Structure 1
Amino acid sequence: MNKTLLAGLLALALTGCAGKPPEQPFTLTLAHINDTHSHFDPTDARLTLGNTAVFTRLGGHPRLLSHVNALRQQAQEADQPLLFVHGGDAWQGTGYFTLNRGAMNADVLSRMQLDAMALGNHEFDLDNGRLSAFIQSVNFPVLAANLDAGQDPDLNGLDNLKPYVLYAFDGHEKERIESVEDAGKRPVVAVMGLVLEDMANFSPNIGNLRFEREVNSAQHTVNSLREQGVKYIVAVTHLGLERDQRLARKVNGIDVIVGGHSHRLLGDFSHLGWDDGEPYARRFNNPDGLGTTCVVQAGRFAQAMGQVAVTFTPDGRVSHCEGGNTLLSDNVFYRDIRRGDHHRLNEAQQQRVAAAIEAKPNISMVAEDPALRAHIDEKYRPALSKAYGDVIGHVPFPLTHVRLPVDGKGSRLAPLVAASQLYWVNTPPVQAVTGRRADFALVAAGSVRNSLEPGALKEGNVGLELLPFANPISLVSLTGRQVAGLLLETINTALSSAAHTGRFPYGAGLRYTFNETSRGRGYLNRIEYLDNGQWQRIEPDVRYQVALNGYHASGNDGWHTLFDSQQAFTDRLDLAFVNGKPRVFPVARLSKNGQGTIEVHYINQPLNCKTARVACSTDARAFIDYVRERRPVLTALPESGVTLNRL
């Protein structure tokens, strides 16, 4: 957002409603974040200013706190209402989460004084007991109007898990209230939450929870709030931008949707060498043809904060919705991503960069909150530093990870992850227990959680950050026809507008060409695998041994072909370490329970990753061994194996 825009909007709101009778327009400012994924420290970033590339760090929770505190101060001085909300997926993403299992998230987020947070899919990555502890530990409400926890022993009856909350405002002063009657003549804002209706496809750990339809639940909740006399309704969601926009078009009465899940940084950031995203604060017509809903989202990894000012007509409809996302930058800049002292810009260069940033509309230099920075450094950073372990190799050049290839350039890391799995399952110790040789490997883009910057690569960079989900590697046989079907379904669904791009497939020992014929649809005109050094055409009726992680091998995250192919019978083998040695766990078949969660049925002893002597993180171990044994100087592979020809 332009650095003067928020102040201007607040001033506009002040002249429009402060000191006026209740029938005058009401303006609400929302500060919002989403998909922060435990990025408590800043993330490395490259910016283009003019024709010059500079390197700095963006965001982190201490910087978010400084920025929102500044917004709070502005709102207080203007005597205007402000809410600070989180669109979900605070969990996962860095070694901090792997070590602290949600406790650090509860601690740090509570210090930020959020007003509400939606549940994201990654909040279900552990188990409902851990999620319950998180919800009970935070000092803000966690929202999910379409979640039925009545049959779940961990989440049933939690006071802090709600479908919505109500806030009454008197200028800047706000009070959380139980009913509209408690507000008197003060304006009331309802904040409701929505989670993915198909959560079972994203998380296997949902216990006995039921997830209701997003549109139906939203309309039911809005109707209930309107009947209570609530005029202003905000939905904090973790559905993805496409579903948020659908919600706006299909539900009457939501004024603002603050979303997450898509990792979309809305707004034009091309002047910084970043993408030109969809417009921020787009308004969509409701089905009744009368109301409109404003939709916003704020990127990922705690790099940016959104701020939107919404002005309402006296009868409660949105008349203005304006704002933008702001990238939060450090004030130190380098000419090289390695950020050595000798790479740091001199004083004159620093001043020129600072002036250039000051002139940009959607980036600001923001100092970290010193108290939160000190708290993280003292309580959590020592264990993180210790956990990173031994150096396994070195990265001489940045290895960037993007989910979808852009202009012919795809992820430089996902093919390496696939190559590590193909290498590892074909090593003699692993082949000795499987009795098989893999033909190729597949990996979903969403399995790879970050890029790698130049420098030493430690075990913890892999197991705590790059591949933090502790997935076993699976070997499953698929026909060439099934491989083609899997590629088609995952590519097509990943390419659709504002889709969940994490399901996009990369491979090793496999290459394909996909031609898009209409937006988000297309065909494969080449699928080949590497056989004894020669590329061969995939034959429809031939069976191939495919290596991939167990999560996607079960058909989760939209890899439905794999579930369909294993419902009656499978020869799949899951690989884990037992007492430090590789062991196979043969799978008999897959099924779905009443909540739609995919269940794996093993032939003999089931694979229990919670057992102390069992280590399921063979995906991370494969990458560590691959780097240490084959690629100690880790660079990108000569080709990604993916040719994506888009319209």
Structure 2
Amino acid sequence: MKFTKPLIVLSVGLALAGCNSSSSDNKTLLDTPFDLTIAHVNDTHSSFDPVKSSFKVAKTKVYNEFGGHPRLLTEVNNYKAEATENNDSILFLHGGDAWQGSAYFKLNEGKMNADILSQMGLDAMALGNHEFDLDNQKLNDFIDSINFPVLAANIDTSNDDDLKDQTNLKPYMVYAFDGNTKEVVTDLDNLPADKHIAAVFGLVLDDMPNIAPNTGDIIFKDMVQSAQATVDMLHAKGINKIIAVTHIGNAIDLDVASQVNGIDLIVGGHSHTLLGDFTNLGMANNGTYAEIVTNPDGKGLTCVVQAGEYAQAIGKTTVAFNGQGAITRCNGNNTLLSNDEFYDSPAREESNKFSEQETASVVSFIDGQENIAVVDEHEKLRQHIDTHYKPAVDAAYGEIISTAPSEIKHERRPGDNGFDKHGSDVAPIVAAGQYYWAATTEVSSIAGIEADFSLVGAGGVRTDIAAGDLREGNISLELLPFSNFMSIVPLEGSVIKELITSTVSATLPAGSHAGKFPYGGNLRYTFTEDNAGIDGTLTSIEVNEGSLDAPDWAPLQDDTTYNVAMNNYNATGNDGWTPLFEAQKTSSGRVDLAYVNGQLTAFAVERIEEDDNGKYKVIYKDQGIDCDDSSFSCSTDAQAVINYIKANHPTLEPISYETVTLERVEQ
């Protein structure tokens, strides 16, 4: 999709002019003002336990935990109780990507997600890209098992054997409200005359086959065209209060709002954007929560929200409509959900724990803030997780391979959330590990080629590395959970430069999905933004011709072929790494590496094809890799990092030199 700037952006809380008026003269709608509260989360990624984190009180760094589903449930129940007391109308929406991201998902493959999410009281969820991480049969089982609908208005499942008859995967839902009383409306030709009516429709990425590995035979349709067609249909039925729950990223949400007439509120996901100003906590200002965008007709207005990642925060916004269905107010905020145990060290040992007086001081500070709250975990849900699921997860983590003296942080894009221009400290460790493994004599002798460096997409790296003991499972179950296998791809230097330029440029717009942002192992580069939020230039890129401990940097040459180690997902050109597909669509010298019956085995790639749905398919010269076959062990991307850390870093700290430098335009 081509990005366009929103026509007009208004401040939150102002009275809004213009209207999203219905084209219908249907008089069944209640012709009085209406307020609707939306509680929302997105990109929860199986974070059933809290996430270790930190924030600042003045200049003091406080180590704590945020979120987890039991704490999230407590807070949304608080919102619902308040709505009941005040007779307010409320919906609880999920912006997609409930799947993947933790050991719980790795072990339970969506079954636990269905169990826990069905206890959360959700009204609807957008279909996320990571919901396609297994196969459509397992996705169908998940959708069958939950007690709320999954929404996507721009897909056609009629040709997909697994999902074609799935009735809980819907384009939209319509709700009738009488104060705190809510009911689902199924007959759009006979809307209740004495209730307020609001519709919620879903929107997913239209290039999903290039993002997700297992989309089956689903057809994904243009987001803007489908959104407008859905809104027009709902308007024709007399419904003029319309919400989109999307999984397309904040930047694209804003773009869709500027191209589609009639969406009142977009509840988003995918870019993991914790909208709002969190500088009071020593964090970043991540942009406007409840940003208002003018529609292409110059009259209608759309409010846009999103609530971060990993169930650490919940958003709450109230949308006020006039009698004609136009929004007159849209405001609210995201709230980080903290525990009440605080430490002065990431090790979180008893000796580092805050005293009662220090704790009381922190709690007092939190009580004075709008964007953070101390929230207790929902006791029954916590016990359910600990009893039914946690023992198996704890047993799966395996042996200790290293110790991290302090927390090692991961942020996808340099400069975000208080990070410096070099970005993640975790991704360079992953990249170094995958290069180290691919360059060993054992691997290179089997592959027939030796790696010169590696590349890692930031979105494939899922977590920080916590202070303390690091176990194998922290890598294979949490940090790199996707069961990808390693590839070594011969590529000309010019292709590598094109890849880095295009992927970095794609992450520059505010609110963009930064999963494609590249980090190197045995490689370093500097990218300079030329036009703020639009594009830039790769001003330096160098390959290490020395050792990891004593680097000797030399410029990467356009006409030289380099053997590049990376996981198979990126090596195929997925997630916007399209230059790699282009370089391999007629022929490829690539070698994929997986274990077969415990033996590392090389699989030669002939080329990559693109099917009619835009999905890339690897064509092997002989036998291909079948990760569903029990004789195959495909997680060589994680095993590479485990081997590297175990062999070289009994104490794990960030790489001693910077591999990425992103110079942004001052704004």
Q: Distance between the aligned counterparts of 2:307 and 2:632, measured in 1?
A: 39
Shift of 1:643: 2.0
Match of 2:128 in 1: 120
Do the aligned partners of 1:38 and 1:91 also contact (CA within 8 Å) in 2? yes
Q: Distance between the aligned counterparts of 2:222 and 2:626, measured in 1?
A: 32
Matched, 1:235 2:253: no
**Counterparts of 1:177-576 in structure 2 under 5 Å?**
177-180=185-188, 181-406=190-415, 407-519=420-532, 520-533=534-547, 534-576=552-594
Do the aligned partners of 2:422 and 2:662 also contact (CA within 8 Å) in 1? no
**Counterparts of 1:35-46 in structure 2 under 5 Å?**
35-46=43-54
Shift of 1:23: 2.6
- SS of the aligned residue for 1:39 comes to coil
- Greater alpha carbon shift after TM alignment, 117-126 vs 332-341: 332-341
Q: Distance between the aligned counterparts of 1:86 and 1:498, measured in 2?
A: 18
Q: Which of the numbers 616, 633, 638 marks the counterpart of 2:651?
A: 633
Do the aligned partners of 1:473 and 1:547 also contact (CA within 8 Å) in 2? yes
Shift of 1:117: 0.3
**Counterparts of 1:39-78 in structure 2 under 5 Å?**
39-78=47-86
Shift of 1:540: 1.2
- For residues 402-440 of structure 1, the C-alpha deviation after alignment (integer angstroms, 9 at most, x for no partner) is 111223332111111111111111222212211221111
Q: Which of the numbers 119, 144, 148 marks the counterpart of 2:152?
A: 144
> 1:154 corresponds to which letter in structure 2?
D
What is the number of residues matched between the two proteins?
628
Do the aligned partners of 1:506 and 1:640 also contact (CA within 8 Å) in 2? no
Q: Which of the numbers 631, 640, 644 marks the counterpart of 1:613?
A: 631
Runs ≥4 residues deviating over 6 A: none
Match of 1:643 in 2: 661
Name the TM-score, length of structure 1 as normaliser: 0.96
- SS of the aligned residue for 1:183 comes to coil
Shift of 1:287: 1.4
Do the aligned partners of 1:166 and 1:179 also contact (CA within 8 Å) in 2? no
- SS of the aligned residue for 2:206 comes to coil
Do the aligned partners of 2:118 and 2:148 also contact (CA within 8 Å) in 1? yes
Do the aligned partners of 2:272 and 2:513 also contact (CA within 8 Å) in 1? no
> 2:649 corresponds to which letter in structure 1?
R
Do the aligned partners of 1:204 and 1:598 also contact (CA within 8 Å) in 2? no
Do the aligned partners of 1:412 and 1:637 also contact (CA within 8 Å) in 2? yes
- SS of the aligned residue for 1:501 comes to coil
Q: Distance between the aligned counterparts of 2:662 and 2:477, measured in 1?
A: 31
> 2:373 corresponds to which letter in structure 1?
S
- SS of the aligned residue for 1:604 comes to coil
Match of 2:115 in 1: 107
- SS of the aligned residue for 2:423 comes to coil
Q: Distance between the aligned counterparts of 2:99 and 2:175, measured in 1?
A: 26
Shift of 1:497: 2.7
Q: Distance between the aligned counterparts of 1:31 and 1:372, measured in 2?
A: 19
> 1:364 corresponds to which letter in structure 2?
A
Q: Distance between the aligned counterparts of 1:471 and 1:598, measured in 2?
A: 16
Shift of 1:483: 1.3
> 2:75 corresponds to which letter in structure 1?
H
Do the aligned partners of 2:34 and 2:320 also contact (CA within 8 Å) in 1? yes
> 2:279 corresponds to which letter in structure 1?
S
Q: Distance between the aligned counterparts of 2:611 and 2:469, measured in 1?
A: 44
- SS of the aligned residue for 1:565 comes to helix
Q: Distance between the aligned counterparts of 1:480 and 1:100, measured in 2?
A: 42
Match of 2:164 in 1: 156
- Greater alpha carbon shift after TM alignment, 98-107 vs 487-496: 487-496
> 1:623 corresponds to which letter in structure 2?
V
Shift of 1:98: 0.3
Q: Distance between the aligned counterparts of 1:310 and 1:480, measured in 2?
A: 51
- For residues 433-489 of structure 1, the C-alpha deviation after alignment (integer angstroms, 9 at most, x for no partner) is 112211111111111101101111111100000000111110111111111111111
- SS of the aligned residue for 2:584 comes to coil
Percent identical among aligned pairs is 47
Q: Distance between the aligned counterparts of 1:532 and 1:194, measured in 2?
A: 48
Shift of 1:182: 5.0
Match of 2:38 in 1: 30
Shift of 1:396: 1.1
Matched, 1:170 2:147: no
Name the TM-score, length of structure 2 as normaliser: 0.93
Q: Distance between the aligned counterparts of 1:395 and 1:82, measured in 2?
A: 44
Match of 1:8 in 2: none
Q: Distance between the aligned counterparts of 1:85 and 1:179, measured in 2?
A: 22
Shift of 1:525: 2.3
Q: Distance between the aligned counterparts of 1:161 and 1:525, measured in 2?
A: 47
Consecutive unaligned residues in structure 1, runs of 5 or more: 6-20
- SS of the aligned residue for 1:215 comes to helix
> 2:494 corresponds to which letter in structure 1?
R
Shift of 1:49: 0.6
- For residues 343-372 of structure 1, the C-alpha deviation after alignment (integer angstroms, 9 at most, x for no partner) is 111111111110000011111111111111
> 2:248 corresponds to which letter in structure 1?
L
Shift of 1:183: 2.3
> 1:321 corresponds to which letter in structure 2?
C
Q: Distance between the aligned counterparts of 1:293 and 1:646, measured in 2?
A: 29
Shift of 1:69: 0.5
Shift of 1:581: 1.3
Q: Distance between the aligned counterparts of 2:523 and 2:79, measured in 1?
A: 50
> 1:220 corresponds to which letter in structure 2?
A
- Greater alpha carbon shift after TM alignment, 531-540 vs 633-642: 531-540
Do the aligned partners of 1:576 and 1:583 also contact (CA within 8 Å) in 2? yes
> 1:524 corresponds to which letter in structure 2?
L
Do the aligned partners of 1:474 and 1:572 also contact (CA within 8 Å) in 2? yes
- For residues 111-137 of structure 1, the C-alpha deviation after alignment (integer angstroms, 9 at most, x for no partner) is 011000000000011110010001010
Q: Which of the numbers 578, 587, 607 marks the counterpart of 1:589?
A: 607
- For residues 145-164 of structure 1, the C-alpha deviation after alignment (integer angstroms, 9 at most, x for no partner) is 00100100111121111000
- For residues 57-114 of structure 1, the C-alpha deviation after alignment (integer angstroms, 9 at most, x for no partner) is 1111011110011110111111110000000000111100000101111110000110
Match of 1:15 in 2: none
Match of 2:18 in 1: none
Q: Distance between the aligned counterparts of 1:91 and 1:522, measured in 2?
A: 34
Do the aligned partners of 1:609 and 1:616 also contact (CA within 8 Å) in 2? yes
Do the aligned partners of 1:39 and 1:94 also contact (CA within 8 Å) in 2? yes
Shift of 1:293: 0.7
- SS of the aligned residue for 1:544 comes to strand
Do the aligned partners of 2:67 and 2:313 also contact (CA within 8 Å) in 1? yes
